[in-house]
Amino acid sequence: MLTLRRQRPERRRDKVRVLRREESLIVMLDTSEDLNTCAAEIGCDVEQLLTPLTRFTRQHPEAYFAIDNGAYSKFNATEFLSLLEREKDYKSLCRFVAVPDVVGSARRTLEVFERWQYKLHGWPLALVAQNGLQDLEIPWDSIEAIFIGGDTEWKLGEHARNVIKAAKALGKWVHAGRVNTPARFEYFESLGADSIDGTGLSRFSWMRERIYRQARQPNLLRGDGEIAEALVL
Query: Cα 221 vs. chain centroid, distance in angstroms?
Result: 20
Rounding to the nearest 10 degrees, give the CA dihedral for residues 213, 215, 219, 224. 160
pLDDT band for position 216 (cuts 50, 70, 90): confident
Q: Which runs of E-coded beta strand occur in 80-179?
A: 94-98, 125-129, 145-148, 173-176
Q: Nearest to residue 229, comparing CAs of 161, 152, 176, 159?
A: 152
CB contact set of 217 (below 8 Å; sequence gap of 6+): none
- Measured at the alpha carbon of residue 23, what is the angle toward residues 146 and 221, in degrees to the nearest 5? 85
Topology classification of domain 26-232: TIM Barrel (3.20.20)
- Name the pTM for this structure: 0.86
pLDDT band for position 79 (cuts 50, 70, 90): very high
Q: Nearest to residue 97, comparing CAs of 7, 153, 28, 183?
A: 28
Packing angle between helix 182-190 and helix 205-216, nearest 10 degrees?
60
Mean pLDDT for 34-57 is: 97
Q: Domain locations in the chain?
A: 26-232
Rounding to the nearest 10 degrees, give the CA dihedral for residues 185, 24, 106, 231. -20
pLDDT band for position 196 (cuts 50, 70, 90): very high
In the chain, the percentage of residues whose pLDDT exceeds 70 is 83
- Phi, psi torsion values for 181, nearest 5 degrees: -115, 155
